[in-house]
Amino acid sequence: MSDKKIEIYIAIHKKAKVLERECYIPLHVGAEGKEDLGFTRDNTGDNISCKNLNYCELTGLYWIWKHSKADIVGLVHYRRYFVKSFFTTNMEKAITDKDINNYLKKYDIILPKPYWTYKKTVEEQYAVDHNIEDYKKLRKIIEENTPEYLDAFDAVSNRRYFYNYNMFIMDKQLFNEYAEWVFYVLGELEKQVNIDNYSDYNKRIYGFLSERLFNVWIERHKELKIKTLYANNIERKPWVDNIRNLRSKILTKIMYH
């Protein structure tokens, strides 16, 4: 069987250097009303680009859902790429189309290494920086509208790790199923939440909650075979973050298992 067509979109919102390689496509998220950066923009065709302040990179994810015709799609960030190395800050070390094809012959989805919350559950960790009432409303929406996901929601809420950054690579049809569910759920929440008095940071509510919802969807579909890779921030010292995360993982397993 021949290799499949791959489109990995690089979410970017400002002028910055991005990986220039076949199958990687810079996508200007929140492009509506903004200066043209010379990249594909998420405000064409069916789009929610104007919601970027609240939905973050999900405006790009929505655009991919509605417009990409590739067999395999993915989302990375202009500062974060999937890499094999614990240490690298070189975007040129990002996995190639050949790597992706090889991984997806064995696995269904490529995700970042899980982030370990250690002393707090995922729900408790959300409550530290955000309005926990929104989280509770989200649970109620799932209970009433997609109850088949409720056990998965509770399982994710009570664990001490999650896959973050909304980064992934997977089959487009599989991605379509996720996108249809997550935008329905977030749309229902949007009807119930007034964020006028939120800080600019917490107005990014749907981006933050979607990171948790992605994990709920993955938990619901336990049949998926997952390959995890490092998602190093190329503007930082990734080994510092990776060592801290590894420490949290070890301490979590010692204290809570």
Query: 90-110 pLDDT, tens per residue?
Result: 999 999 999 999 999 999 999
Whether 1 is covered by a domain: the verdict is no
pTM of the predicted model, to two decimals? 0.96
- Tell me the one-letter amino acid at 136: K
Q: Show the domain range for 46.
A: 6-256
What pLDDT sits at residue 2? 57
User: Considering the chain, what percentage of its residues have pLDDT values greater than 70?
Assistant: 99
Whether 245 is covered by a domain: the verdict is yes
What pLDDT sits at residue 39? 97
- Beta-bridge partners for 73: 7, 170
* Domains held by the chain: number: 1
Q: Inform me whether the pLDDT recorded for 1 exceeds 70.
A: no
Whether 11 is covered by a domain: the verdict is yes
Query: 120-135 pLDDT, tens per residue?
Result: 999 999 999 999 999 9
